[in-house]
Structure 1
Amino acid sequence: MPLPSVILFQRKNSFLCSVYKCNFISFIFLSSGTGSNILSALQDLFWLLKSKVEKQLQIISVLQWVLTFLVMGIACTLILMYILCTDCWAIAALYLAWLVFDWNTPKKGGRRSQWVRNWAIWRYFRDYFPIRLVKTHNLLTTRNYIFGYHPHGIMGLGAFCNFSTEATGVGQKFPGIRPYLATLAGNFRMPILRDYLMSGGICPVNRDSIDYILSKNGSGNAIIIVVGGAAESLNCTPGKNSVTLKNRKGFVKLALRHGADLVPVYSFGENEVYKQVIFEEGSWGRWVQKKFQKHIGFAPCIFHGRGLFSSNTWGLLPYSKPITTVVGEPITIPKIDNPSQKDVDFYHSIYVDSLIKLFDKYKSRFGLPETEVLEVN
């Protein structure tokens, strides 16, 4: 055998012997108690790393929605104005032309996207808190519905996750029902933001939009209205369960005009995810908030959550507190074209009683004492 072949053969045999030795040592090592312990430790390390990555993805998913809620509309408007002043002005001009053409789409049910509603990011968003949706009764696809969502909280995080995404399985729990979360009409005047909101099935909370969905969009529609609105957000604080409802009767009148059943919805934990500075009635702070609410439609709140890198610091991220949204029993509403005030008051009182009963039935299941009372303002 030539010398190079002998050397190659010897090296090959040496390599094979090393492999056999390593395999034999590995077998002996893993067969011993020490090997099993190390293997178990490696598995624990793997799951720890995976858990850490998932937690970071949850934080990112929530952060993007908080920034969307707070600054996306203004940021996109400023960016569009800037692009108009650059060499890329044609792109902005085309979008503005599209905006004019598409202006009334939000009033006609919007343009939802099942692809967007099923993004994986919403599942990370759900698991951050976590958020759950509890179904108590079936909903008929031959009827339309108005869900009254309580309480508002700071950002209505439970309302968004449960009804504007499929993260908690609203489509599976209520098959054939199309949910539309109603929010401030002003959001749909903001470029890019309007399209993002519509993709999740979000619509303006105004009469034109609601009338269209309940009268010209067939049956099986459910409009979710956060009844307390901005006024309720001013009083939300951890440990407090109160709703602004006594003088909120417009949604009942809408239900009567369209014969849409009313469904009370209560979200346990919605007020726990942020801490807020509450201004007393008559203070300058409350005066400013009410002026904003009257002229702009929202009330500025001074609130904080946790920091981005630590739960022990202040920041814009909500605290990781569970939110459980319970959808109650539908209240059958007759269709009355011109309901009287007496009709509105009657069905409003039924709705208030149903909401209180829903709260009392489920409060102890989700961490509240039996003595807890829902405050209706």
Structure 2
Amino acid sequence: MLFPPKPFQALCAAYASWYLWDFTSPFRGGWKVSWFRRLKWYQYCASYNSFKCIKEDLPALKAASSSGPLMFGCHPHGVMCASVFHTFGFDHSESIQSCLPNVTFRVMTIKATFFVPLWREFTQCLGFIDASRSSASEAFKKGHSVAIVPGGAAEALLGEHNSPALILNKRKGFCKLAIQSEIEGLVPCFSFGENEMFDHISTKSPIVNIPRKIMKNVAGVTMPLLYNIVPKRRPLRMVVGKPILLKDLEKTTEDEKIVELHTLYVEELKALYNRHKDDMGYGELNIVQ
């Protein structure tokens, strides 16, 4: 058989047409499919790691979300961002959607995601959008709340167990985006157990690091070297903190507000971590960059 059967050709042509028609959606605020986010399968996935979402101040979250969009900063990145999927992408009993049913969530991820056929549709059904300023701005304009992982691909390579290392000091762009978008507030979130799902092979060899750095710069993503491919069954806890309301900022100029918001955010994230680290068996939090 020289050519695929005609039904397959028709299916490919239909998907290609859809792909081209929908190509810009993840860069313009995205879309989601509510019933897809509620599939029972995601509850089973949550039970694999006994996932729990801990809301430190749910009344404050409800009050802030009713006044305007929120930005949720999630740490650490880890290999899979499993807690981000469970908290903001899926809609099951432990997700934040169950507590904030009237909030529409968008999750920012790398642009490369939306060039992979079928995977792009899967992530869009869950509400994922491109991790760009323009896409997030469109989402905020539509009244959606957005989850972002400020540490990005570089943080995924760290993966320390029980004493997590974050890339945060030099990451102020998300604070600038929050202020320029005039959203209601910024919410710190920390995932205990994210790094413990995988064991990293630690190496400083340029044979490994140089190609990995090139891949990160070109594609915006890189994979750490792992001992295990299947994630370990470790307890996974996403702690969602109290919103930092932008209307409470004291500075006047935009640059001053960015610095103030970033400082408050780092302080709140550290305080949140310290309140839960003993219960989770964690050591000190390290902000390395």
Aligned equivalent of 1:362, options 246, 265, 276 = 276
Note if contact 1:257-1:339 (Cα within 8 Å) is conserved in structure 2: no
Note if contact 2:162-2:281 (Cα within 8 Å) is conserved in structure 1: no
Note if contact 2:199-2:227 (Cα within 8 Å) is conserved in structure 1: yes
Alpha-carbon offset, residue 346 of structure 1: 1.9
Note if contact 1:262-1:330 (Cα within 8 Å) is conserved in structure 2: yes
Matches of 1:351 and 1:112 in 2, distance apart?
A: 29
Instruction: Tell me the equivalent position of 1:331.
Output: 244
Q: How far does the alpha carbon of each residue in 1:131-171 deviate from its partner, in whole angstroms, 9 at most, with x for none?
A: 11011123222221111100011111111112110121322
Aligned equivalent of 1:211, options 137, 143, 155 = 137
The yes-or-no answer on 1:286 pairing with 2:219 is no
Aligned equivalent of 1:195, options 115, 121, 127 = 121
Alpha-carbon offset, residue 174 of structure 1: 2.4
The yes-or-no answer on 1:159 pairing with 2:84 is yes
Q: 1:339 to 1:214 in 2, by over 3 A?
A: farther
Instruction: Tell me the equivalent position of 2:112.
Output: 186
Of structures 1 and 2, the one scoring higher in RCO (CA 8 A, sep 6+) is: 2
Alpha-carbon offset, residue 237 of structure 1: 3.1
Flag the structure with higher helix content: 1
Normalised by the length of structure 2, the TM-score is 0.89
Matches of 2:186 and 2:271 in 1, distance apart?
A: 15
The yes-or-no answer on 1:174 pairing with 2:88 is no
SS of 1:300 mapped into structure 2: coil
SS of 1:301 mapped into structure 2: coil
Q: After superposition, where does 1:168-317 map in structure 2 within 5 Å?
A: 168-215=94-141, 217-218=142-143, 221-260=144-183, 261-280=185-204, 283-305=206-228, 316-317=229-230
SS of 1:203 mapped into structure 2: strand
Matches of 1:235 and 1:300 in 2, distance apart?
A: 11
Q: 1:190 to 1:358 in 2, by over 3 A?
A: same
Matches of 1:161 and 1:182 in 2, distance apart?
A: 14
Normalised by the length of structure 1, the TM-score is 0.69
Flag structure 1 segments of 5+ consecutive residues without an equivalent: 1-82, 306-315
SS of 1:89 mapped into structure 2: helix
Matches of 2:105 and 2:9 in 1, distance apart?
A: 37
SS of 1:266 mapped into structure 2: strand
Instruction: Tell me the equivalent position of 2:284.
Output: 373
Number of residues of Structure 1 aligned to a counterpart in Structure 2: 277
Matches of 1:231 and 1:135 in 2, distance apart?
A: 27
Note if contact 2:151-2:168 (Cα within 8 Å) is conserved in structure 1: yes
Task: Give the letter aligned to residue 166 of structure 1.
Answer: D
Alpha-carbon offset, residue 183 of structure 1: 0.7
Alpha-carbon offset, residue 86 of structure 1: 5.3
Alpha-carbon offset, residue 232 of structure 1: 0.3
Task: Give the letter aligned to residue 114 of structure 1.
Answer: S
Aligned equivalent of 1:319, options 212, 232, 235 = 232
Flag structure 2 segments of 5+ consecutive residues without an equivalent: none
Q: How far does the alpha carbon of each residue in 1:30-58 deviate from its partner, in whole angstroms, 9 at most, with x for none?
A: xxxxxxxxxxxxxxxxxxxxxxxxxxxxx
Determine what percentage of the aligned residue pairs are the same residue: 27
Matches of 1:173 and 1:339 in 2, distance apart?
A: 35
Q: How far does the alpha carbon of each residue in 1:320-361 deviate from its partner, in whole angstroms, 9 at most, with x for none?
A: 00010000011111499x964333222111111111011011
Following TM superposition, where does structure 1 have runs of at least 4 consecutive aligned residues deviating by more than 4 angstroms? 83-86
Note if contact 1:259-1:334 (Cα within 8 Å) is conserved in structure 2: no
The yes-or-no answer on 1:341 pairing with 2:255 is yes
Alpha-carbon offset, residue 112 of structure 1: 1.1
Q: How far does the alpha carbon of each residue in 1:158-200 deviate from its partner, in whole angstroms, 9 at most, with x for none?
A: 1111211012132222232222111111111222111111111
SS of 2:52 mapped into structure 1: strand
Task: Give the letter aligned to residue 330 of structure 1.
Answer: P
Note if contact 1:257-1:335 (Cα within 8 Å) is conserved in structure 2: no
SS of 1:275 mapped into structure 2: coil
Matches of 1:154 and 1:267 in 2, distance apart?
A: 12
Task: Give the letter aligned to residue 127 of structure 1.
Answer: S
Matches of 1:102 and 1:358 in 2, distance apart?
A: 40
Q: 1:259 to 1:300 in 2, by over 3 A?
A: same
Note if contact 2:88-2:97 (Cα within 8 Å) is conserved in structure 1: no
RMSD: 2.2
